[in-house]
Structure 1
Amino acid sequence: MAFPTTPLDVRTELRIGSTWTDVSSDVYTRTPITIECGRSEESGQTNPGKLGLALDNRSGAYTARNPRSPYYGLLGRNTPVRVSVPGTESYLELDGTESGVASTPHHASLGITGDLDVRIEASIAWHNTMLNQALIGKWGAPGQRSWCLRVYNRRLGLLWTENGTAVGFAEVRLPPMPYRAAVRATLDADNGAGGCTFTFYWARSLAGPWTQIDDPITFGGGATSIFASTAPLTIAPTTAEGVPPRLPFVGNAYRAEVRNGIGGTVVAAPDFRARPVGTTAFSDSAGRPWTLSGSARIERRAYLFYGEAASWAPRWDASGKDVWTPIEAAGPLRRLGQGRKPLASALRRRLPSYTPLAYWPCEDSQGSSSAFTPVAGVSPLAVTGWSFAQDSSLGGSSPLPVITPGGTMRGRVPAPASPATVWALCMPYRVEGTAPTAEQEMLSWTTTGTIRRWRITMGTSGTHILGYDADGTLVLNSNIVAVPGAFDGWWRLEFLAQQSGGSIAYELRWTKVNGGWTNVSGSVAGTLGTVSQIDTSFGPGLPDIRIGHLGVFAADTVTAAYSSADHGYNRESANSRLSRLAAEESRSVQLAVVTGDPTVSSELLGPQKPDELLALFQEAVDADGGILYESRTDASLVYRDRTSLYNQAPKLVLDYTVDGEIAPPMEPVEDDQRTRNDITVTREGGTSARVSLDTGPMSTQAPPDGVGLYDDSVTLNLAEDGRAQQIAAWRLHLGTRDEARYPTVRLMLHAAPHLIPAVLTLEQGDLIRIINPPQWLPPGPIDLIVQGWGDQPDLYTWDRVLNCTPADAWTVGVLNDPVLGRLGTDGTTLGAAVNSSATSLLLASSPGPAWITTASHPSEFPFDVVLGGEVVRVTAITGTGLTQTATVVRSVNGISKAHAAGTPVQLARPLTLAL
């Protein structure tokens, strides 16, 4: 960009109605634009972003209720606002309208009928459950369909036809992915085993490397083929009738590839990244001509802020000639934090989505006399002998009732809209006390079928499924051996029945919450009918019983409906919980996940209890130790997991000796703000672990031997007790780093515009590196983690102040790495004094072990050690005892000085085990 010799193109836009409107000409330059993003310190929680600016309102355009305004009725609370500057990379911007696409006409090379490999890199809300959009495809009206790659309800799928009309598809559930990512699908049309195979992948970019999503999907019944339609290849197509409605995706496309064969010849390769803004037609590297139509456009903007203007308050001077409207906008965290209503329990949130005929959560408050139902047209469950809100031990539920022996429940079940061919019931239960020997009634219901009344009785002596006809005659008496452990902890009692010819096929299943399952099945002559009423008198010989989330379904959906939700998604990873919660609340929030190592799970969490959405987000963040922050491009959130912070390459390198790259002041701070040397971590509902540092300069010992006691305690929702000890040790590691802080790094980008491209790519959690620090500071490099920043872009100046924390603690060991995988030895000191130029050091280790020698491990040399602040490179070691001689190269870090005998010697990069 030409800045700063020409004014900086700072664009401010308001989303007025459904259109982004450029209001930059009305932004007052006398009031600087101020932006704050992220957090100022390494706190556990990110504050909402902030934007401040003022709009010229002499025309009254920005008075929300002014009928003279061209925006009358369109401005109001939480009007979206965004601020951008010219970017360094172009993209295809799509707004989701049917006509807004990029396409290339049919060409013989695009008529792929066999193996297919399609890839696209885009920014899109991948995990939105409401999303039902197409990415790329050769997909026309019926009769002209070939294939289409789509995103639907957090799933990535490939549609294809063999005849241009009949549609087949394969799909996988998407893993946690960043907002900008690449996806890939391959079709092996003839897998050599009498079928076809679909495989799906994702990557950070089209360049890979590709990570396979789930297992390949194989269909038998012979090889397949793709219909060679003459439809254009389109980013992103609208699917035709006969398939669930699907529109072009909303977001940005960067590049795509279509290959004839898996990894085969590239037949189309649109790349929008270098296209000039406003381009409407071009040819790709495969020779295909592309045309943009409708609202699709090539844009090149980098966003500094995206948020919502919560208030519109016009101001004016006494003369009335100066009228302005100040805007204070905030990121989506502000809006999300306004609500205080806890989300319902996992089961209460999930079960209604399976359209039960009747459902009673039984989570009513103390003193209730019946059980509420969220299902329209269903009456409350009438009960006796129930004490509500007494038992909180079911992970996926709010407190449930305790039912005394002989308690009852009765509730009508509406008939399904169409004749039933299958129905199912499910009742989670737990018996408290000694299990009954004699069988007791556990569940009973009536139907309109041949068997009018069904009963299940259970005891340690056995179980029966009993059925009675309309006259009350026993027509089914299925005796079942007692199920071991069926009265131990929480179980789901599930019953499924379906019409099979002239018989009713039934299955009784016991599913242990957080455990296994067992089942029995059988059949009886008759017609199925529909469930009409729950009518149960719990056996008087039962001890107190707890039940909840009683459901009746007109489909075999019980297992899918209850699984995982019954135990509150216990042992779900932090990444998965954040993605799932965001998907469930996709009307109010979008969230992308950035993981540093897809092969390593983020922290496993305990049950999800009812709480506010942001509190549940923060619970996962606290347990895993990553960073949750606001996107700068839209109203979504981003989570960087803990592994994404390990061993980063610098995103931005600043040279102190280069004029303008670092603006004053750059001041180290030696303080105790982050010091914590006695840590207690408690697993919620479980054990506690305490770890302390009792020796050394950062220990709990009183000065001068240590810094004194700095204790801290935290309760985390962890899946395992054993993790409390490990997390406490990691937090102790973070809290006892003996190093200076550099809280802020100021960049005057108008003085160093060459930094702008790298600065625009910075995200919270990225590592920056400062090289060649001044002589009065310790030798570099200085590695810092960016926690947030403040921006003040103006016409001819642009200040960005980075909020930073030390990064060294996030450098962790890597197996077999020559630097990060090296173990040191304890208690090594110089056995004799050396001057500033000596190249031989006497090493005395106590208690040891001894250092490796050149003779025993020649390939492990050289390596760096530090003594008295000087880093030296060890090229050889001799001697097999605890006193050894090292040959070294001095002054690796620019420091060369004399050292006294007894000076500690240790690895320059000691091994740190990752959490």
Structure 2
Amino acid sequence: MPLIAEVGWGGLVQAPETITWTDISTYVDVDQQGVTIARGASDELSETQPGTATLLLDNVDGRFTAGNALSPYYPYVRRNAPIRLSVAVMPAKAGSAPYPMAQLADDFDDNRVNTTLWPSNYGGATETGGRARIPVTTAGSAGFLSAREWTLTGSKLTARLVTLPGANGSSVALASMWANSTTSGTRLGWRYNAVTGAITAENQVGFTDAAPTSATYNPRDYAWLRIRESGGTVYWESSGDGWDWTVRRTLATPAWVTSQTLTAEFPTSRTGGTNDFVEWDLVGAEVRPRFWGLVNDWPTRLQGLSSTVLITCTDLFKRLNRRPALRSMLGEEILTLSPMVYFPLTEDSTSTTAGDVGGNGAPSLAITQAGAGGTLALGSADGPTETGEQVPVFTPSTATAGKWLMADLGPQFEDTTVSYLTFEAWFKTTTTGRAIMGVHSLDLVNQHVLSIAAGGTLQIEWTSDGTALTVEAVTSPATLADGNWHHVVYDQREGKVWIDGTLTDSALAVPRRFYERVLHVGGYRGTRLWNGSIGHAVVYATDTYSVGPLITGHYSAGMTGFAGEDADVRIQRLASYASVDSVTISGSTFDPIASQGPGGTQVVARMREVESTESGRLFAERDYYGLAFQSRDLRYNPDPSSEVFTIAYADLETKSVELADDDQKLVNSLEASRPGGATQKVTAPSSIQAFGIYDPGALSILKTSDNSVLDAAYWRVSRYADPAPELREVPIEAYTMSTYLDILDADISSYFSVTSMPAQSPASSMRVTVEGYTETIKEKSHLIQFHTSATNNDSVWVLDDPTYSVLDSTTRLAY
């Protein structure tokens, strides 16, 4: 059960696909300290907590000392370095020959060649440093060769390629992994060519393959290699972590694969150049990820001439919890599209300038006076309905006397405007013939203005030669000067305009690619001064693609806060605000969610609101940089076949087991409400009569109807008005169990059963749901303490079902 600990030195956690991982497993203390990992929640009513991991590293040579210029990892021994932990389970040989090739397993950890497994290790091949080390030498071939006792049919050959040979001036330098037939030169496998840097998937006959599948080797994709046969097809697969595999080639299974007993071989050869070696490891390993996250710090402990570093690590939630409070949903939607400049115009009434939050360092918009009189009051009017923000009020004396906002955005902006531009803004007015926003070059040769025509419709004005502005009328509603908030998007690249989320014109003939740098908002060059409010003025550069269609949803963001979208969609939307692209959605029951439009809270807090509203589960994945969101129906009435494993009571790693029968979860009275809805109450009279009132306090959730709130309250009370005795902690020494791999597959919301319970138990078998776990990984030990709940808490009524229609027991209506 080798531990695999890898650090992505210098890698960007937000770009996990670009990380190159370095194995530091040999420095981890698994003999004494062990590796401790905590994940999930203590019970089903608690929020999942950020996952953590703790490792003690041998630092005798200072390689893990932050700031040590002599470290081979310098300067990347630093906080927030990506880290991932896995265990490699080595299958045991069972049955009689010929054995499935998946049982050919060797971790090479004792530095002695297993001559039973590898009766022919030739050319100086050794087991060194916990790996199979095979010379790549001009002296002749070298390699590890197994006994002829294996079959590939319905099985696989897996290995980790750890150290590559170099070209070293050779004309030929090869390292391979083969499943050999009884005919010399007829074989399937992978081959690395150090001279070309290519990794090839080959089906050789007579030592050649006329059409191998070739790729340039990189450890992110090809650190692990395997050949697998299933259902009449051979698969060549590769992986960066030994867990997530990608098919690189397929082939109809050759006849010899199903009819012959095979050998496995790892040979090398070199012609000319300088000798070196290749290293393979973990042949046959089944990898199970246990943790993916960030190293919090690298505290160096000095004891005499020895040194250790005890690192603590936290999963993806560490990064999410560090993020600042979100802007409004509208603001976050804009920022995800990486605007050139974004002026929300949400400064308070004491401000005299308005800043860019697009992140490109643009100057602020300054209040600018035209003529005499008029006012511009920042932070004085309610913005679009669901933003919860205040925006400016422009009140000119006349169209040419008053104040507007202006800034020279500088040469950087001007250089960028060689791209196509897309403009976006919100506006509100009852006055026609005024300018919303405009841009121009310093010499006024290039100009571009969005304005309201005298008739109340939208128009675009432009010049590219410094002459009078050409007016391009835009098909739009009869009047936009109706005193209501409106949203406009003008996509210069596509010649399209969207108003209030609807495409209104798609055939504009405005010239494109202007060089411009001076931005005006609420007027243009001291004329057509705006009378009303403007918010969220944005300019995008869209040289390679059009953002217009992506912006149309911003109208819903501002006016409804996406109220009514399903919870799974909301979670993915919120994750995108934190630059998390990967969210695994499980289950199918997701209710509509109310608006979370206004800003001011962190992304995790908003996700937790959705999680609580749905009675779902949100947590970080343990095998990659991503989130998982599970609906409540994922736990409904599990089929026995969905259990990941079963374990006898006598095999639990404890001298005593406690069946909890307390009032920790008891709820028989619950008051619930939603934003803008009624406050409602659900009770369980028989429970109140028996135990008294147990009310956890008011429940406020983001439902969109009173009936949904009532359903949620009923669901809670019906489950916990009289909870049955349950197992809440199940400790297992997984390493010693024949179901080790199955136990490692158990994760949050998985099921398993504890069987053969003592006669004093309420049942001979008790099924539990995993809510979380704490595990300690040591040499030949893997103790997992599962935090569990009673699975039947989530059972729902099925008509005429012998199990799920028992009166007063399993007749709970699904929610």
| TM-score normalised to structure 1 length | 0.59
Q: Of the candidates 247, 261, 270, which is equivalent to residue 236 of structure 2?
A: 270
Q: Of the candidates 632, 641, 663, which is equivalent to residue 631 of structure 2?
A: 641
Matches within 5 A, 1:291-440: 299-315=285-301, 320=304, 323=306, 325=308, 327-333=310-316, 335-336=318-319, 339=322, 341-351=324-334, 358-373=341-356, 374=358, 376=360, 378-383=362-367, 385-389=375-379, 394=384, 399-406=389-396, 408-412=404-408, 417=415, 423-430=421-428, 436=430, 439-440=432-433
C-alpha separation between the residues in 2 aligned to 1:780 and 1:392? 63
The equivalent of 1:802 in structure 2 is 786
Q: Of the candidates 692, 700, 703, which is equivalent to residue 682 of structure 2?
A: 692
Letter in structure 1 aligned against 2:426: P
Unpaired segments ≥5 residues, structure 1: 1-7, 105-140, 142-228, 240-245, 259-264, 499-504, 814-819, 823-859, 867-905
The equivalent of 1:559 in structure 2 is 548
Indicate the SS of the match to 2:50. Answer: coil
Deviations along 1:593-648, one digit per CA (max 9) or x if unpaired, are: 14123xx5465453455443433433332333322234333454433333333333
User: How far does residue 708 in structure 1 lie from its aligned partner after superposition?
Assistant: 1.1
The equivalent of 1:847 in structure 2 is none
C-alpha separation between the residues in 1 aligned to 2:657 and 2:552? 54
Change (3 A) 1:447 1:83: closer
Deviations along 1:145-201, one digit per CA (max 9) or x if unpaired, are: xxxxxxxxxxxxxxxxxxxxxxxxxxxxxxxxxxxxxxxxxxxxxxxxxxxxxxxxx
C-alpha separation between the residues in 2 aligned to 1:101 and 1:424? 54
Whether 1:549 aligns to 2:526 is no
Matches within 5 A, 1:241-280: 249=221, 269-270=235-236
Indicate the SS of the match to 2:754. Answer: strand
The equivalent of 2:713 in structure 1 is 728
The equivalent of 2:254 in structure 1 is 287
Change (3 A) 1:308 1:291: farther
Which deviates more from structure 2 when the two are superposed, residues 77-86 or residues 529-538?
529-538
Change (3 A) 1:291 1:267: farther
Q: Of the candidates 692, 717, 731, which is equivalent to residue 707 of structure 1?
A: 692
Which deviates more from structure 2 when the two are superposed, residues 448-457 or residues 77-86?
448-457
Whether 1:744 aligns to 2:729 is yes
User: How far does residue 582 in structure 1 lie from its aligned partner after superposition?
Assistant: 4.3
The equivalent of 1:77 in structure 2 is 79
Whether 1:756 aligns to 2:754 is no
Q: Of the candidates 789, 799, 815, which is equivalent to residue 821 of structure 1?
A: 799
C-alpha separation between the residues in 1 aligned to 2:476 and 2:300? 78
User: How far does residue 57 in structure 1 lie from its aligned partner after superposition?
Assistant: 5.3
Letter in structure 1 aligned against 2:567: A
Change (3 A) 1:727 1:375: same
Aligned-CA RMSD value: 5.2
C-alpha separation between the residues in 1 aligned to 2:604 and 2:350? 30
Query: Would you say the 8 A contact 2:4–2:23 is kept in 1?
Result: no
C-alpha separation between the residues in 2 aligned to 1:679 and 1:418? 57
C-alpha separation between the residues in 1 aligned to 2:575 and 2:452? 42
User: How far does residue 296 in structure 1 lie from its aligned partner after superposition?
Assistant: 9.6
C-alpha separation between the residues in 2 aligned to 1:614 and 1:593? 16
Change (3 A) 1:787 1:368: same
Q: How many residues align?
A: 653
User: How far does residue 40 in structure 1 lie from its aligned partner after superposition?
Assistant: 1.5
Query: Would you say the 8 A contact 1:746–1:801 is kept in 2?
Result: yes
The equivalent of 1:575 in structure 2 is 568
The equivalent of 1:876 in structure 2 is none
User: How far does residue 709 in structure 1 lie from its aligned partner after superposition?
Assistant: 3.5
User: How far does residue 773 in structure 1 lie from its aligned partner after superposition?
Assistant: 2.9
C-alpha separation between the residues in 2 aligned to 1:864 and 1:368? 63
C-alpha separation between the residues in 2 aligned to 1:552 and 1:26? 49
The equivalent of 1:134 in structure 2 is none
C-alpha separation between the residues in 2 aligned to 1:533 and 1:720? 48
User: How far does residue 661 in structure 1 lie from its aligned partner after superposition?
Assistant: 4.9
User: How far does residue 693 in structure 1 lie from its aligned partner after superposition?
Assistant: 1.3
C-alpha separation between the residues in 2 aligned to 1:401 and 1:97? 61
C-alpha separation between the residues in 2 aligned to 1:506 and 1:359? 21
The equivalent of 1:463 in structure 2 is 457
The equivalent of 2:129 in structure 1 is none
Indicate the SS of the match to 1:673. Answer: coil
Whether 1:912 aligns to 2:813 is yes
Letter in structure 1 aligned against 2:661: E
Whether 1:233 aligns to 2:213 is yes
The equivalent of 1:174 in structure 2 is none
Deviations along 1:422-455, one digit per CA (max 9) or x if unpaired, are: 6543212245xxxx3x635252536579996756
Structure with a larger share of its residues in helix? 2
Change (3 A) 1:14 1:821: same
User: How far does residue 761 in structure 1 lie from its aligned partner after superposition?
Assistant: 0.7
The equivalent of 1:606 in structure 2 is 595
Whether 1:631 aligns to 2:616 is no
Percent identical: 15
C-alpha separation between the residues in 2 aligned to 1:462 and 1:666? 76
The equivalent of 2:142 in structure 1 is none
Change (3 A) 1:392 1:601: farther
Deviations along 1:463-500, one digit per CA (max 9) or x if unpaired, are: 374869899979759598863787475421244568xx
Query: Would you say the 8 A contact 1:682–1:724 is kept in 2?
Result: yes
User: How far does residue 356 in structure 1 lie from its aligned partner after superposition?
Assistant: 5.2
The equivalent of 2:111 in structure 1 is none
Deviations along 1:702-721, one digit per CA (max 9) or x if unpaired, are: x43x4313132343445566
Change (3 A) 1:506 1:291: farther
Whether 1:791 aligns to 2:798 is no
Whether 1:660 aligns to 2:651 is yes
Letter in structure 2 aligned against 1:804: T
Query: Would you say the 8 A contact 2:407–2:518 is kept in 1?
Result: yes
C-alpha separation between the residues in 2 aligned to 1:367 and 1:25? 58
The equivalent of 1:618 in structure 2 is 608
Change (3 A) 1:614 1:103: farther
Change (3 A) 1:592 1:366: same
The equivalent of 1:873 in structure 2 is none
C-alpha separation between the residues in 1 aligned to 2:5 and 2:706? 50
The equivalent of 2:89 in structure 1 is 86
Unpaired segments ≥5 residues, structure 2: 11-19, 92-101, 103-156, 167-173, 179-195, 197-208, 258-263, 269-277, 369-374, 397-402
C-alpha separation between the residues in 2 aligned to 1:629 and 1:802? 16
The equivalent of 1:596 in structure 2 is 587
User: How far does residue 403 in structure 1 lie from its aligned partner after superposition?
Assistant: 1.0
Indicate the SS of the match to 1:773. Answer: coil
C-alpha separation between the residues in 1 aligned to 2:393 and 2:165? 57
Whether 1:669 aligns to 2:660 is yes
Change (3 A) 1:247 1:386: farther
User: How far does residue 256 in structure 1 lie from its aligned partner after superposition?
Assistant: 8.7
Query: Would you say the 8 A contact 1:441–1:458 is kept in 2?
Result: yes
